[in-house]
Amino acid sequence: MIKNPFTIFEPYRDMLDVRMLKREDDVASDEETQRVLGMEEIVVLDQEHGHRCIVVSTPSSRTEKADAAATDRPGLTLTIRFADCQNFIVFDPIKKVLCLIHAGWRGVQCEAIAQAFLCMQSEWRVLPRDVLVGAGPSLCRTCAEFTDPGKEVPELVSYAQGRCIDLNGAADDQLFSLGVTRDRFERIDDCTLCNPEKYWTYRGGKDEVVKNGKRNVLAATLCKQK
């Protein structure tokens, strides 16, 4: 487990706790995830590669179909499971709001990121210019290969280079177009497929293992103030 993998959140360690589980942590079930994270209350979504974002205030274990969750409740750990898909932490230190987003190529195409920001704006009036965003490991530009990008991901064809799509670039542009500033954004450059010894990867030959539940996990918690 890596604690606080993003430098952008370092000044806020008394407000935000971030943890990442990788292949070496070897978790599949929600119970294993909770045990390894060492957190008392966690939220686990039934991720479906869509754009639904929910507001949460209590623990749950895959009872809600959604790909993003937002909260303002200290002590409640939000989690996102990922193999090759993009994963984001959005933190507003002013409103003290936290959101985690799962966005594979389907999520990027259906604008899951924008929907998550709409959810936060509606519930807490969060402004994109006020947030900090961390993007975890995912497929790099040369590993996100498709059979026919024009048919499979028509909305993202402008990001195509041959049969590969720059999914990271597409997501970054969506964030910046919403109003997130570049100096408040950080992306971990690791590619899950290029580093199969570090991360679970669906495209890297571990598809059956991943289908059976093995995942990397991004988790974050708003700290309880003393």
CATH of the domain at 60: 3.60.140.10
Q: Please tell me the predicted confidence (pLDDT) of residue 203.
A: 80
d(CA 11, CA 137): 22
Helix axes 112-124, 167-178, angle to 10 degrees: 30
Q: Please tell me the predicted confidence (pLDDT) of residue 165.
A: 96
Predicted TM-score (pTM) of the model is 0.95
Which residues are within 8 A (CB) of 216 and not within 5 positions of it... i.e. 6 or more apart? 20, 21, 22, 23, 81, 82, 83, 136, 137, 192, 199, 200
Could you tell me the two tokens for 119?
Answer: 């959810």
d(CA 52, CA 81): 15
pLDDT along the chain (226 residues), means of 10: 97 98 94 95 97 98 96 98 97 99 97 99 98 98 94 94 96 98 98 95 71 88 89
d(CA 192, CA 213): 16
Number of domains in the chain: 1
**Strand segments (E) across 112-175:** 132-135, 160-161, 164-165
Domain range holding 111? Answer: 2-222
Q: Please tell me the predicted confidence (pLDDT) of residue 202.
A: 86
